[in-house]
Structure formats: structure tokens, C-alpha cells
Amino acid sequence: MELHELGLYELQSKLNQGEVSPQEIINAIFKRIHEVDDKVKAFLTLDEENAIKKAAALCKGENRTGLMAGMPFALKDLICTRGLRTTCASRMLENFIPTYDATVASRLNNAQGILIGKLNMDEFAMGCSNELSAFFPTHNPWDLNRVPGGSSGGAAAAVAAREVPVALGSDTAGSIRQPAAYCGVVGFKPSYGRVSRWGVAAYASSMDQVGVIARNVEDCALVLNTIAGKDPLDGTSADIEVPDYTSYLIPDIKGLRLGYPREFFAQPALDPGIKDLVEEALRKYEDMGAIVEEISLPYSEYALPVYYIIGPAEASANMACYDGVRFGLRDLEADNVLDMYCNSRANGFGDEVKRRVMWGTYVLSSGQYEAYYLKAMKVRRLIKNDFDNVFAHIDLIITPTTPTTAFKLGEKNNDFLTSCKNEVFTVSANLAGLPAISIPCGFSDGLPVGMQIIGSAFNEGKVLQAAYAFQQNTPYHQYKLQIGGEQK
């Protein structure tokens, strides 16, 4: 198997046995990127020269002490990287070069991982197809006429296309899990507070969470070991002990109680092919010794409307910092400060960002605040209570990740809200701050399907355990794709 096909564990073992050098790994990764990325278009910026230098510095085995020593990784382009352009896929930040690394980037660097480049996304993480990048859309490697999902679509597409073994994305309503499902890879959103958000451009701060996209569950566990834990720079990061997540990689789930929410499986938009596959997966879990039962999350039907009030409300506040003064695009022609603010924002932001700022400002305005924002916050609590009730007697919740497989590029151009309904199963976990993973569970009409596993807060380990057990008993994560072609 070629080096670019391998996951972190296999690469590390080859490295430790002296079969390959860090340079050979990095060269293989860039060779692959140069071969396929003009079709997939996952990367916005590559960091080739630095990556080669870092690999050379690790050529002596005794220098390789870090958890990620010599391992290639890539970052969604809202994660700040010192000296390397960080655009949020927006004209506003097209030329923004941060003077600092986000905590997650420095943790990966300190563990001797090697940054390959920055990945395309929907502008400021608002969107679900990558078509809202201000630069160009990313393509789904399984079918280049389809979207990779979003907003971390560049990350999922790059991992699926074997351009990089792992990438970090961010997930506010499903932006890691939905593209992972569309691209047939693993996407893990940890609990809110488990991973630092410092240095990560904020969209909706009470729901944003950084997480991992990889081709298998064990690589997710390894990266989570590297990035998780309290960060003094992020007041919302939790001071809760971080276990060794790799210790949960045991294919044994006997006695684990799994619940499947009635409301999700009755969703009219749910594609019957996807429903069948997840039901088959539930039977598989039963065969493996888990106890499977129906549960109810009655308030989940309000999750999307609640999200589309709270998300834009927080976005309208977070976007205020892009004013042409501190950083980002500035209109140099304006002859007064107010015009400078207005023109910089009018030219820098795309339509969807502007729409959310207006929406958010409206729901926070006096007169509307009680009717929309406050009401949404109350319903958010009811949604969280649903989960608390279920987790009193259930270990994990199993659902489809999305109601459909990847749609065609351009198909939903005039129908943004319908396309975002694809987050109907993922958004509740963000509202309640819970860990959730999407793993491959089969194919419907030749396109990958994802299954979601949701855990109780800070129980990432159990989520990984159930995901790993399924992975070890099924072949889905091993299918190879030819870019834009059929699975082999």
C-alpha cells in the first residue's frame, strides 16, 4: 500500500521500524496532493516548504519523542496558524496572516505533528456544502459532481481523497459529522469544553467545538489525546481530567445500552436506504452483545429552529470584530470612518454571513429578544433535559448522521434552508454540548452513509469504544475510492 493511503498508526509503526523516514512520508503526501487536489480542491493554502524542513529535523529517531512525531495533519482554515494565511474562506480575511497559533495548532506542533496546509470551508463556518467558500467549492471525492458537505468540507474531502490522514475541523451544528458522513470518513465532535477554541475564529461560541476528521477511529483517539484538555487561554475549556482515549479502543461492547430515538427514525426526510443501513447496524450491535432499545427525544423537532436563532445571534456579535480597523479587509477609499466600516464589511462578507448578521441582530433587538432569543434559550434547555433523561438509563444514542447522502453541486443554490435541514440529526448534540461521532456504515446508491453515536457529556471514551467496535466488525471504512469513480 502506498504511504498516502496509511493511517497514523500504520505510519508510526513504519517510522519506528525504520522502514520509512519522515521526509518520505511528507513527500508522499505532497505528491498525492499535487496529483488529485486540482480535482478535489480541498486546500486553500499549502505549507510545503516548512513541512519538508520539519520532516528533515525529525530524521533522527531519537528526536522523535512527540505523540504525533512526523505525522502529517491539516487544519480547517478558521484555525489560526502563525505566519500562515488563515482566511475562514472569506474575502474579509483573504490576506490575514496570524501572529499566533491556535492552541490546537500549537498542541499538534508541540507533539511534533507536521502541518501540511489549510482547508477549504464555508465562509466563517456558515453553510453545509462548501459552496459558500468565497474562493471555490470543494468536490466530493466519491463523485466530483457532488458536494463534500460542510462547513468542514475541505477537511472531510482531503481525508477521504487520501491527501492527508487526519485533519481538524469545527462543528457548530454538524459541520464535522455531516461532511464526514458525505465523504465516507470518521468525524468526531468532542463535548463542548473538551478542546480549546482559543485562536479558532468564532461563529457561534456556545456551540462551536473543534474536532477530528480521520479515516479510522483509532486515529481520532490519538489526535484527541494530543489536543484535549484545559487551556488557560480559553475560559470555556473544561478542567476535567483527560483519559487516554486509546485505552477505549477495545472491540468489546457487551452490556452497553444503546438507544435509538423514535423521532429521528420517523423523520419524513430520512432516505429509506440510510434508515435500513442504520437499522442493520443496530442489529449488528445486538449481535455483538449490546442492549438496544427505542428512546424518545421529544423536543428534538425544535432543534433546528432553535439553532437558527441562537447561531445567528451569536454570529452577529462575533462578526462585529471585522470592522476594517483591527484586521481584515479595509476600504481605503472611504473618506470617513463610518463609510470605511460599512464598505469594508459590505465588500468583505459574502451573502450568507450578511444574512446571519442581520438575522442575529434582529432576534437580539429590543422588542424581539423575548420572543425569539430568550424563547430559543428556554427550548434549548428542554432539548438538553431530553438528553439528561435518556442518559439516566442509556449509555449511547445511535442515529443516522444525515437524512440523505451528498447532494449535487448547485442543486440547492436557491434553497439554503432545505440544504441545512441535513443537520437535523446532528444539531441537538451541539445545543446540549455532547460528544458525537459519525462513522461509515455503508453505501446508498453508491454514496457513503454515516451513522452517528452520541454520548453523555465528557464521555468521549465510550463513544470511541462503540465506534471502534463497529468499525472492527464491518468493512466500510476500508473501501478505497478512485477519485470521482466507483469504490474498488
Binding part of the chain for ligand GLN, among 102-110, 166-174, 321-329, 335-343 by CB under 6 A, reads: 166-174
Q: Does 151 bind ligand GLN (CB under 6 A)?
A: yes
Binding-site member from 3, 68, 75, 126 for ligand GLN (CB under 6 A): 126
Please give the Cα distance from 250 to 228 (Å, whole number).
Answer: 20
DSSP conformation class of 487: B
Q: Does 452 bind ligand GLN (CB under 6 A)?
A: no
Report phi then psi at 203, rounded to 5. Answer: -110, -70
Grid cell of 411 as nine digits: 442543486
Helix axes 272-287, 460-472, angle to 10 degrees: 90
Q: In this structure, is the dihedral angle defined by the CA atoms of residues 192, 198, 199 and 203, taken in order, positive or negative?
A: positive
Return the closest-CA partner of residue 453 out of 445, 444, 465: 465
Helix (H/G/I), strand (E/B), else coil: 437 = strand
Return the closest-CA partner of residue 267 out of 425, 390, 430: 425
Q: Contact, 452 vs 425, CB < 8 A?
A: yes
Grid cell of 3 as nine digits: 504511504
Q: Quick one: 87 or 471, whose CB is closer to ligand GLN?
A: 87
Q: How far is the CB of 176 from ligand GLN (least distance, A)?
A: 7
Q: Give me the 396-435 binding string for ligand GLN, x by CB under 6 A, dash otherwise.
A: ------------------------x--x------------
For Cα atoms 27, 29, 33, give the angle at the middle one, nearest 5 degrees.
115
Q: Quick one: 174 or 448, whose CB is closer to ligand GLN?
A: 174
Q: How far is the CB of 282 from ligand GLN (least distance, A)?
A: 26
* Position with the least CB separation from ligand GLN: 175
Window 240-279: residues binding ligand GLN (CB under 6 A): none
Grid cell of 398 as nine digits: 445511535
Window 2-41: residues binding ligand GLN (CB under 6 A): none
Q: Quick one: 137 or 174, whose CB is closer to ligand GLN?
A: 174
Cis peptide bond prior to 151, omega within 30° of 0: yes
- Set 76, 118, 189, 275: catalytic member: 76
Q: Give me the 194-233 binding string for ligand GLN, x by CB under 6 A, dash otherwise.
A: ---------x------------------------------
Binding part of the chain for ligand GLN, among 80-88, 168-176, 271-279, 380-388 by CB under 6 A, reads: 168-176
Q: Does 128 bind ligand GLN (CB under 6 A)?
A: yes
Binding-site member from 125, 157, 167, 313 for ligand GLN (CB under 6 A): 125
Binding part of the chain for ligand GLN, among 100-108, 133-141, 165-173, 263-271 by CB under 6 A, reads: 165-173
Binding part of the chain for ligand GLN, among 55-63, 169-177, 398-406, 472-480 by CB under 6 A, reads: 169-177
Q: Does 174 bind ligand GLN (CB under 6 A)?
A: yes
Please give the Cα distance from 37 to 385 (Å, whole number).
Answer: 44
Q: Does 460 bind ligand GLN (CB under 6 A)?
A: no
Q: Does 127 bind ligand GLN (CB under 6 A)?
A: yes
Grid cell of 292 as nine digits: 438496544
Q: Quick one: 29 or 125, whose CB is closer to ligand GLN?
A: 125
For Cα atoms 136, 142, 148, give the angle at the middle one, nearest 5 degrees.
40
Please confirm, yes or no, whether 175 is among the known catalytic residues.
yes
Size of the site for ligand GLN (CB under 6 A): 14
Helix (H/G/I), strand (E/B), else coil: 259 = strand
Q: Quick one: 213 or 483, whose CB is closer to ligand GLN?
A: 213
Q: Does 467 bind ligand GLN (CB under 6 A)?
A: no
Helix (H/G/I), strand (E/B), else coil: 155 = helix
Residue indicated by cell numbers 529535523: 57
Helix (H/G/I), strand (E/B), else coil: 292 = strand
Q: Does 297 bind ligand GLN (CB under 6 A)?
A: no
The amino acid at residue 258 is: L
Return the closest-CA partner of residue 345 out of 326, 324, 361: 324
Binding part of the chain for ligand GLN, among 119-127, 135-143, 366-374, 390-398 by CB under 6 A, reads: 119-127
Residues 6+ positions from 427 with CB-CB distance below 8 Å: 173, 174, 303, 304, 307
Grid cell of 115 as nine digits: 502541518
Residues 6+ positions from 243 with CB-CB distance below 8 Å: 461
Please confirm, yes or no, whether 151 is among the known catalytic residues.
yes
Report phi then psi at 142, rounded to 5. Answer: -75, -30
Q: How far is the CB of 248 from ligand GLN (least distance, A)?
A: 25
Binding part of the chain for ligand GLN, among 123-131, 192-200, 233-241, 454-462 by CB under 6 A, reads: 123-131
Q: Does 314 bind ligand GLN (CB under 6 A)?
A: no
Residues 6+ positions from 20 with CB-CB distance below 8 Å: 3, 11, 14
Binding-site member from 311, 360, 403, 442 for ligand GLN (CB under 6 A): 311
- Set 90, 106, 152, 175: catalytic member: 175
Please confirm, yes or no, whether 170 is among the known catalytic residues.
no
Binding-site member from 37, 77, 171, 386 for ligand GLN (CB under 6 A): 171
How many beta carbons lie within 10 A of that of residue 181, not counting itself? Answer: 34
Residues designated catalytic: 76, 151, 175
Applying CB under 6 A, which residues contact ligand GLN?
Answer: 125-128, 151, 171-175, 203, 311, 420, 423
